[in-house]
């Protein structure tokens, strides 16, 4: 052998890998139940959002006090970090859910809020951002998000099932669901806002993290006819080892720019980058430690190839 050949026992230690996945998913679930729900943005709940810049640094508590004085007790106030380099605390996002104000706050109500903030703290310039989402519209967005994810997954299942085998498709989808659960879990634990960008990022993960799985499946398909005494388990394990460096390297090259985006980007870009980063890591893990061991388990149970 001329080069260092990897020889990890991926399949034999599958219980450990499954356990790790289970623990991470459970941690996310616990995070979800402790919080009670996801931190859903106005995309999904409807309501109004204003981003303001003050003349001086202030705190969420001070803004909350002012909002309370004019009758808005239940608002979400979020400090805006523009980037890692500059820790600003003069920019804030104020969110008023539609259900708190009956309908969305209209122009006059917003003027009232802005006047109050201006007289107490002092506003600089115009609004940076101003959004109103009708609750009916946001429920449609949620529905569309679910449809998009379902169609994305179904499309991939069909494609993989045609190109490989039906069981490969199912195993790949299980790995994808694993990735999505882990990503959502991280959002629940960190209490990060979930909005349409997050959904887009999740769909991208679905499309991307299947790549590693396909690289492995491709190799398994190539190696299966020459299985010999290795049996299917050996073929899968060897294929994983043969594709290991490419799985890791493709993930690394993808992770480099998105981790940089996570570090350098603005809040809105970070929303995206976080989901992508978690998803790519989970996807790389699942293609090696979830999708392929499932294939072996399936073959053990319903042998199609020699075990």
Partner 1 sequence: MRNKKVNVAIIVIFILIIVGCFYYIFRDSISNSIKLGLDLNGGTQLILKPIEEETGEITEEKLEYTIGIIRDRVDKLGVSEPLITKDNFNNIIVQLPGVEDPDNAKKIIGKTARLEFRLVEGTFVSRKGNSWDIVEFDYQNGELLIDPEAEETILIEDVNKFFQGESVPSTGRLATNPENNALVLLYPQSQDESDESINESNADEPEFNPEEIMGTLEYNNDTNEMFLVKDGEEIGEILIDSRTGAATLVGPALITGDELANAVAGYDNYGNIRVGLSFKEEADDTFAEITTNNIGRNLAIALDEEIESAPYIRVPITDGEAEITGITSIEEAKNIELVLQTGAFPIDLHLEESIYVGPTLGMDSLRYGLYAGITGLILIIAFMFFYYKGLGIYSMVGLLVYIIIFWGVISAIGAPITLPGIAGIILTIGMAVDANVIIFERIKEEILKEKSPRAAISEGFKGALRTIIDSNITTLVAAGALYFFGEGPIKGFAVTLSLGVIISMVVSLLFTRSGIFLMSGIPKMTTHSFLGLARRSGE
Rule CB under 8 A: which of 209-238 touch partner 1? 210-211, 214-215, 218
Q: Does 7 bind partner 1 (CB under 8 A)?
A: no
The DSSP secondary structure of 73-87, one letter per residue, reads -S-EEEEPP--SS--
| Shortest Å, Cβ 86 to partner 1 | 10
Task: Measure the CA angle with vertex 96, ends 76 and 199; round to 5°.
Answer: 75
Map residues 261-290 to x or -, x wherever contact with partner 1 holds by CB under 8 A: x-xxxx-xx--xx--x--------------
Contacting residue, 160, 282, 290, 295, with partner 1 by CB under 8 A: 160
- Four-CA torsion 58, 62, 68, 69, nearest 10 degrees: -100
Q: Which residue stretch of 12-20, 21-29, 232-240, 253-261 sits at the interface with partner 1 (rule: CB under 8 A)?
A: 253-261
| Shortest Å, Cβ 20 to partner 1 | 25
Contacting residue, 45, 76, 145, 184, with partner 1 by CB under 8 A: 145
Task: Report the C-alpha gap between 32 and 41 in whole angstroms.
Answer: 16
Separation in Å, CA 169 to CA 161, 166, 264: 5, 5, 37
Task: Report the C-alpha gap between 280 and 34 in whole angstroms.
Answer: 26
Task: Report the C-alpha gap between 18 and 175 in whole angstroms.
Answer: 11
Q: Which residue stretch of 28-36, 64-72, 142-150, 186-194 sits at the interface with partner 1 (rule: CB under 8 A)?
A: 142-150
Q: Which two tokens stand for residue 109?
A: 């109500």
179-208 residues near partner 1, rule: CB under 8 A: 196-197, 199-201, 203-204, 206-208
111-140 residues near partner 1, rule: CB under 8 A: 125-134, 136-137, 140
Map residues 71-110 to x or -, x wherever contact with partner 1 holds by CB under 8 A: -----------xx-----------------------x---
Q: Which two tokens stand for residue 30?
A: 């616990």
């Amino acid at each position: 052998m001329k080069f260092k050949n990897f020889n990890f026992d991926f399949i034999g230690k599958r219980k450990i890998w499954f356990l790790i996945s289970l623990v991470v998913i459970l941690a996310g679930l616990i995070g979800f139940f402790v919080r009670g729900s996801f931190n859903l943005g106005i995309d999904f709940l409807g309501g109004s959002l204003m981003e303001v810049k003050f003349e001086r640094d202030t705190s969420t508590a001070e803004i909350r006090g002012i909002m309370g004085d004019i009758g808005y007790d239940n608002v979400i106030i979020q400090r805006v970090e523009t980037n890692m380099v500059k820790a600003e605390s003069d920019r804030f996002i104020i969110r008023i859910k539609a259900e708190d104000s009956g309908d969305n706050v209209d122009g006059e109500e917003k003027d009232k809020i802005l006047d109050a903030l201006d007289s107490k703290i002092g506003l600089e310039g115009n609004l940076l951002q101003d959004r109103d989402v009708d609750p009916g519209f946001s429920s449609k967005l949620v529905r569309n998000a679910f449809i998009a994810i379902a169609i994305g997954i179904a499309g991939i299942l069909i494609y993989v099932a045609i190109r490989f085998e039906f069981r490969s498709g199912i195993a790949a989808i299980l790995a994808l669901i694993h990735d999505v659960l882990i990503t959502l879990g991280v959002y629940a634990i960190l209490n990060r806002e979930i909005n349409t960008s997050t959904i887009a990022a999740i769909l991208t993960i679905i499309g991307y993290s299947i790549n590693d799985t396909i690289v492995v499946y491709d190799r398994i398909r190539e190696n299966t006819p020459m299985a010999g005494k290795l049996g299917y388990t050996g073929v899968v394990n060897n294929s994983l080892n043969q594709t290991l460096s490419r799985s890791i390297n493709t993930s690394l090259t993808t992770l480099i720019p998105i981790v940089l985006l996570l570090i350098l980007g603005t809040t809105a870009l970070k929303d995206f980058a976080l989901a992508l980063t978690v998803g790519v890591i989970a996807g790389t893990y699942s293609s090696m430690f979830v999708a392929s061991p499932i294939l072996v388990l399936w073959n053990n149970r319903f042998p199609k190839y020699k075990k």
